[in-house]
Amino acid sequence: MTLLFISNSDDPDRWREGLGRALPDLEVRVWPEIGRAEDIRYALVWKARPGILAGLPNLELIQSLGMGVDHIFVDPELPATVPVARLIDQDLVRQMSEYVLAMALRHHRRLDEYDRIQQTGDWRRLAMPDTGATRIGILGLGEIGAPIARLFAELGFAVAGWSRTQKSIPGVESFRGAAGLSNFLARTDILVCLLPLTKVTKNILDKTAFARLPKGAYIINLARGQHVVEEDLLAAIEAGHLSGAALDVFRTEPLPKDHPFWAHPKIRITPHIAGITNPATAVAQVAENIRRVRAGHQPLNLVDRTQGY
């Protein structure tokens, strides 16, 4: 049995080593050295070039190298009957939780303002923020959003989440559907986007959404760059309606050198590092999905193609 590894950003040797221990009879080939296409039964992918997967006639599983699968569904030639699986890894959840907490608490405790004060040599204290009165809003209460919402609730913040369907999480107010989005935004001071990228969620954070947020709201996006209409975000910050943003994902990556985000004093940029798949923790799930498919069963974290996640 043969697996094809396709990624320009992940280390194939670490995956080959880990899969070799878990499945000694599995041959791992690395794109573009695929050999006979007919041999390949499984594909482990991140941003495969459109058409590659369609050229594998005996493909039985498409396994994402990350929790998102939008990079797979942009392929217009994607095989229609091959199951697609997400990677739900607790190490990724931990990494992204750390990122959100770091960015939210940095804003909440006014540390960016203290950085600017330090440059003046001024020993000055700012008013202490009220944690209980600060309203966190989580867009997306799935495998990542739900545990992050619980973390903020445990810290004493007023937490709410918005999702496609109603959720029940202790200490977290739940909003759902198009009807609930406006009310969710209106009660949110720090907005965290953790949504999957679908036709419904693309451009969800536009000038209309920003206008519904309270004055001074802060944006944290570590989902996908296509969720945010970038020119609308800049306009809302420049107008003083939003206080700033922390962004890990962008519509074009790498972010172009001349992009206005780079030099903006109220925008914090990181290069898509909020969560990076670790083969040491994730390989077990990939191996289990291969075993399941071999046995004629559904893989773990099977994607619903009608929903896109």
- Catalytic residue from among 187, 272, 292, 294: 272
Contact present, 147 and 175 (Cβ < 8 Å): no
| Rounded Cα distance, 246 and 240, in Å | 16
272 is catalytic: yes
User: Distances from the Cα of 126 to the Cαs of 25, 112, 113, 114, 133, in angstroms?
Assistant: 62, 12, 9, 8, 17
| Virtual torsion, Cα 259, 260, 266, 272, nearest 10 deg | -10
Alpha helices in 52-110 (DSSP H): 70-73, 90-108
- Catalytic residue from among 41, 86, 164, 224: 224
Beta bridge partners of 2: 27, 40
Beta bridge partners of 268: 246
Task: Give the number of other Cβ atoms within 10 Å of residue 71's Cβ.
Answer: 16
| Rounded Cα distance, 138 and 207, in Å | 18
Residue 21: strand, helix, or coil: helix
Compute the C-alpha angle 173/168/166, nearest 5°: 80
| Rounded Cα distance, 307 and 63, in Å | 17
224 is catalytic: yes
Contact present, 284 and 68 (Cβ < 8 Å): no
**DSSP state letters, 203-217:** T-BSHHHHHHSPTTE
HSE, side-chain direction, 13 A CA sphere, residue 254: 6
Which residues are the active-site residues? 224, 272
